Structure 1
């Protein structure tokens, strides 16, 4: 395994067993017999508190699962047991506090009805670095696919309501016969270098001091390399020559695949597009060491778990592969 595959949400090697997705009888047996079910509430996986260091799996007999079995998503196999995810967002806690639910990083936790002792629903961004590789892959997969179902319940061609098929990995339209599949949006995120410096930027609305690598969606008909050059030039005015690939990261917020790239700037003058970003600046390797140490007067360290943190940390350590 390449070092690049150790990025958060990568490198687990989950046995997805896609050949079982069209075998409802065997899946039903796996689910009811000894299935392990991950409950997800409003995008939050069930984890073990207070450290939130592992997912909490329940069986099919759990009361919150029983009402959602028809929409269960088959994640794969682990030691011969079936792994599933169900969306339990229909449940509303009696003491629900909605004041933080739409924040960038929701700090609130919810205790499930009849759940295992110490189990809470927690924001995946907050717990992702505490999970091991297998739990992180399962949580990311569950969140992305369940969110797709939540927002894509109707046929994109004829508008009729669709039905879940292929163990959650497809929806079918009885009206026009079309099939739909979970979407993944390709995004480039760029380590743009000029000599000893790296280019950082910040988007409007980000928390104070938060900067990251520039990033943007790949457009239809565009290569990864072309997207890197276009996005950097559009956002910062900096031109990029040689581009290379470094690492990728599934990013289920809601359903992106981040292509981490390295690019070498052919110009250094910054002229931002205020509709794209709020600020951009060149940061030297020495300044980046200050940032990671929490000693920089303006810039905070990138969030752990994000591919930007991974790329910058490995650039500093000269361990990019």
Structure 2
């Protein structure tokens, strides 16, 4: 059948609206009829720079939500008709279409109480936040520092607070009202000078994170959500800081079935928290499918969450 898609053409240029032949899913795969598409920074960054060497005609998009309408040979038909949300690989035709094919074990069932637009807004930031949270052993009562309060870290601070950490934030835009709603202890506008931390979660980039590593206590952790620290800050066998990197998309290339099963079940638990209003989430800005390029521009320029309705 023919499906409506938005295709990559040239680096830095708007996507092109087109139709594309769509085949039935192969073994182990499913087809999702998209009802909403999430826009993430990784989408417009890859369109602007094309680090994966996309060819003209590639369909971008990592996040989507919809209904499973077809399953491949040997795939459990349990998912047929289910409402699902997903995070897709950057190396395959993605969610910027009215139908998307993906692996059957890489979707999360959407609970009642979460509509398609909200479900589509969550996979990339929510699962990235969960990966970052999971890197550091839980130590209730420990002080942790979070920098860069975008969509990922607004979810991350809630996971940390719920686990018993004392969470401090460095941000120029994060308000005291937001901090109180999420359980943050204090918002700093600049790096504190007389406080040490068990862990640092940074989304401002490695150059910024390097300057904050001295604030970590011995055996502390630095989790880089944007980029990675290339060289260790401390001499070997001194404070023995642990360095962690986060790249949700890399799991598509290097993760096994067991890892994906765990991640999707953890993601479903987080979606239930959203449905039960035990996790604060921002309502996304809505665009029509024909305005997908506008949604990308809005995400890049305004730095707020956008979702496209199909």
| Structure 1 and Structure 2 fold alike (TM over 0.5) | no
Greater helix share, structure number: 2
Which of structures 1 and 2 has the bigger CA Rg?
1
TM-score with structure 2 length normalisation? 0.28
